[in-house]
Structure 1
């Protein structure tokens, strides 16, 4: 019985999300911030995309503009592929984003110290390794030892 539960759990955790994910290609027509942009599909559908598993600094936080510029330099006016995982409560596509020669935008932002691994919604070990290395190398936002994660910053603004 324990084996059955174990293998069922593995299936649900690793396989099911892939069954429901959707690959979408399109042209990036607008950058909202470091982790959100607009994608125009070949069917002229405009999709607001939010990067999965990462969180970039909020507009008034340090490195917000650098994160936005990094995302713009990487994908603006480019044809890219997103792997949509789900929709959020705002109707945005939560997705992994691939550009260039299969570069993962979320990974590249974290690697360069311009985003946090959003561990509340992710258990991606690669992202955690990239964040640990960026932190150790004091890249980007990790230059400031008192940097505040965006989810904490938003929480403080609400209080």
Structure 2
């Protein structure tokens, strides 16, 4: 019984270590509102923010989201916490923290990103988006804001029709 418990404990600890990663790195690039380049031990790592989807650069509020993110952390040393997973583009998925503030949540709170419900079931992010919508902050001031995933889909259709 004790041996099984010890094995189970080892598995849980290994799982937590492998699938939860925390790094400290300097932000050296802001590609858009939800994609960053950080430098850790002379190695560049591309980070895609977890739980959120910010407007594309050529979409309304896209530049504002990028500027907000840049003001928040560009050139600063941040903590990136991820679950060890990468997206289909090889980007590390995680949350960025600076001075104990969560950039991902601040983007949603300020109406500069959607809660990306397709990939996140977080009630906290859902609540932040609902509050931003009610206050009509950021992109929620627009009469009919277009979610980035729909924006990208419409752009792909236009390219296919050419």
The TM-score, its normalising length taken from structure 2, stands at 0.84
Aligned partner of 1:4 in structure 2 is none
Q: Deviations over 1:96-115 (max 9, x none)?
A: 11111x11111000000000
- 3-state SS of paired residue (1:96): strand
CA RMSD of aligned residues (A): 1.5
Give the number of aligned pairs: 143
- Of 126-135 and 19-28, deviating more is 19-28
2:36 and 2:25 map into 1 onto residues whose CA distance is: 12
- 3-state SS of paired residue (1:27): strand
Aligned partner of 1:135 in structure 2 is 133
Determine which structure has more spread, i.e. the larger CA radius of gyration: 2
- Structure 1 runs of 4+ aligned residues shifted over 3 Å read 16-19
Instruction: Give unmatched runs, 5+ long, in structure 1.
Output: 1-11
| Superposed counterparts of 1:1-150, under 5 Å | 20-41=19-40, 43-85=41-83, 86-100=85-99, 102-150=100-148
- 3-state SS of paired residue (2:27): strand
The TM-score, its normalising length taken from structure 1, stands at 0.86
Q: Deviations over 1:132-159 (max 9, x none)?
A: 0100000000001210000011111112
Cα 1:142–1:48, aligned 2, differ >3 Å: closer, same or farther? same
Q: Deviations over 1:54-96 (max 9, x none)?
A: 0000111110011000000001010001112211111110101
Instruction: Give unmatched runs, 5+ long, in structure 2.
Output: 1-11, 158-162
1:134 and 1:89 map into 2 onto residues whose CA distance is: 29
